[in-house]
Amino acid sequence: MHKEHTLTKNQQIIFDLIDKSPEPMKAYSILFNVQKKGIKAPLQVYRALDKLVEIGKIHKIESRNAFIACHNSSCQVANATAFSICEVCEKVTEISSVGLSKYLANFKDKDGMKYSKYNLEFFGLCKKCR
Amino acid sequence: MHKEHTLTKNQQIIFDLIDKSPEPMKAYSILFNVQKKGIKAPLQVYRALDKLVEIGKIHKIESRNAFIACHNSSCQVANATAFSICEVCEKVTEISSVGLSKYLANFKDKDGMKYSKYNLEFFGLCKKCR
DNA sequence: TTACATAATGTTATATTATAACAATTTAAT
DNA sequence: ATTAAATTGTTATAATATAACATTATGTAA
Ligand SMILES: [Zn+2]
Ligand SMILES: [Zn+2]
Ligand SMILES: [Zn+2]
Ligand SMILES: [Zn+2]
């Protein structure tokens, strides 16, 4: 139920880098890492990032201005994201909880407004750092 | 249960501005608006913003890099924030739902990890824009 | 009230994150 | 082949945020 997008050259290079990274990557760190592959300018990075976010292959961690690959089976839920963030080591994990996503998808505010999209970031200490 | 912080001069100036604003304010817009009051440098603004966020008088809307005053009775819940954001007119509202905050405060991930803090941003269309 | 610690301020410079504008090229559908 | 849409390349610049250091104000304890 989920169109396959063939990534372009720049998109593929940048996705591969993020996907291999154990931690979220920042745009200029990405840029530095792909310069040897011919991607020379910030805009080339940001354009690829925008597209990858749009199709759900990666997510932006808003509180960190950083990007991680989706590990939720190429996110059918690019519009419903939840992360846990360790405030000590900065480890970020994508949360996939059926309960949570159902609860949030159905959440209505006082005016009965429903939302088409959400992003949730939890903060705390990871196992290691506890 | 909630210490009163006496705001300093810069903090008060900047809080008042944000508090009066009908929409989230960005740091450099704040700077522009308080220059006539003697606050001349970005750092003066960011320092006040940091403190105001810390004590829960304002919140940062991460996806917008903007700040709004807390309307949740000077937020006992600075560590548990939820907002609705209209993707057309950019209106932002702080959500205060007992059900939601209870659900999220008690949420545990697969590893049984509980979190000390969260930020949730919902996106959709506000009443006007629907 | 003096001494000390802590917090806030002022200032300059700089780092980091992100987009504007425009030309050229590639891709995919008629 | 024609055309529209998407992607790329490139330079310049805008927007967001912090480093470093000197100074002043505020609170607390002897
Ligand atoms: Zn995902
Ligand atoms: Zn950790
Ligand atoms: Zn609040
Ligand atoms: Zn609206």
Q: Which residues of A touch B97 (CB under 8 A)?
A: 107, 109-110
B64 belongs to a structural domain:
yes
Of B63, B116, B125, the CB nearest to A119: B63
φ, ψ for residue B124 (rounded to 5)?
180, -155
Q: Does residue A36 belong to any structural domain of this protein?
A: yes
Structure tokens at A51: 């597209």
Rounded to whole angstroms, the Cα distance separating B84 from B89 reads 12
Query: Average pLDDT, whole number, for chain A?
Result: 91
Domain end point (choices A69, A88, A108):
A69
Shared-domain flag, residues A16 and A37: yes
Distance measured from the CA of protein residue B74 to the C1' of nucleotide C4, in angstroms: 34
Tell whether B47 and B87 lie within a shared domain. no
Asked if A123 lies within 8 A of B113 by C-beta distance, the reply is no
Look at residue B78 and give its three-state secondary structure.
Answer: coil
Residue B4 within any structural domain of the chain: no
The residue in chain B having the minimum alpha-carbon distance to the alpha carbon of residue A80 is B122
Predicted confidence at residue B105, as pLDDT, reads 92
Rounded CA separation A61/A43 (Å): 19
B2 assigned to some structural domain: no
pLDDT at A42 exceeding the cut of 70: yes
Q: Classify residue B3: in a domain, yes or no.
A: no
Q: List bases, strand C, within 7 Å of protein CB.
A: 8-14, 16-21, 28
pLDDT at B6 over 50: yes
Asked whether residue A62 falls in the same domain as residue A85, the answer is no
What is the domain count for chain B?
A: 2
Percent of chain A with pLDDT over 90: 79
The residue among A43, A69, A95 that closes a domain is A69
Do residues A60 and A92 both lie within one domain? no
Mean pLDDT of chain B, nearest integer: 91
Question: In terms of domains, do A56 and A87 share one?
Answer: no
**Ligand 2 center–CA A68 separation, angstroms:** 17
Do B57 and B25 share a structural domain? yes
CATH number at residue A30: 1.10.10.10
Three-state DSSP at A54 gives helix
The C1' atom of D7 and the CA atom of B89 lie apart, in whole Å, by 30
Domain end position, chosen among A48, A69, A90: A69
Both B23 and B60 in one domain: the answer is yes
Indicate if A44 and A64 belong to the same structural domain. Answer: yes
B130 located within any domain:
no
**Closest ligand to the CA of B52:** 3
* Residue A12 backbone phi and psi in degrees, to 5: -65, -45
Residue range(s) defining the domain that contains residue B89:
80-124
Q: Which of A60, A62, A79, A110 is best to mutate for the B interface (most B CBs within 10 A)?
A: A62
Query: Which tens digits make up the pLDDT trace of A62-88?
Result: 999 999 999 886 555 578 999 999 999
pLDDT band at B102 (very low <50, low <70, confident <90, very high): very high
Domain co-membership, B16 together with B65: yes
Element of type H or E holding B73: none
CATH code of residue A84: 3.30.1490.190
Give the DSSP letter string of A27-44. Answer: HHHHHHHHGGGT--SHHH
Same domain, yes or no: B16 and B63:
yes
Residue A130 lies in a domain: no
Average pLDDT over residues B98-119: 90
Both A84 and A65 in one domain: the answer is no
**Same domain for B38 and B90:** no
Say if A3 falls within a structural domain. Answer: no
